[in-house]
Amino acid sequence: MAYSEKVMDHFANPRNVGELPDANGIGEVGNSRCGDIMKMYIKVENNIIVDVSFKTFGCGAAIATSSMATELIKGKSIDDALKLTNKAVMEALDGLPPVKVHCSVLAEQAIKAALSDYYRRQGIDPEPIVGKIEEHDEHGEDFCH
């Protein structure tokens, strides 16, 4: 299975790793069948994600997609972060092998879970804004290997 240089770089040198002590939104998603678990921390001020970090237990692709996803939403508005798709994460990494697409889905869902937590902490029902958090690919299947 071949990985792009960007995937290898984000795996070997992940950005924004660790807990964010002053996070006002924390989301965790996981896939029990393959064991990948992503925890995303966000700090939102004036509708902007001013800081973001992650902790991921998983394969190299899971770490790389988490790293890239944080880079893509840092400094962006909540609305822009909600528009981030797993396909955009994969494109930013110059692609992923088909059996690793689920990692990019988890990264997208981890961001949404963190934003849902942020809204709940504000006393706002997140589901009309963020949608439901799902932990499988768009076909309802699970591609863990």
Supply angle C-alpha 63, 53, 10, rounded to 5.
30
Catalytic residue among 34, 63, 73, 115: 34
The pair of structure tokens assigned to 122 is 């504000």
Catalytic residue among 23, 73, 103, 130: 103
Rounded Cα gap, residues 125 and 106, in angstroms: 22
Residue at token pair 């949608």: 131
61 touches 31 (CB < 8 A) = no
Amino acid at the residue 95: G
Q: Among candidates 14, 25, 38, 37, which has minimal Cα distance to 121?
A: 25
Please indicate whether residue 34 is annotated as part of the active site: yes
The pair of structure tokens assigned to 57 is 């237990």
Please indicate whether residue 144 is annotated as part of the active site: no
Burial of 106 (0-12, 13-18, 19+ CB in 10 A): buried
* Active site positions, annotated: 34, 103
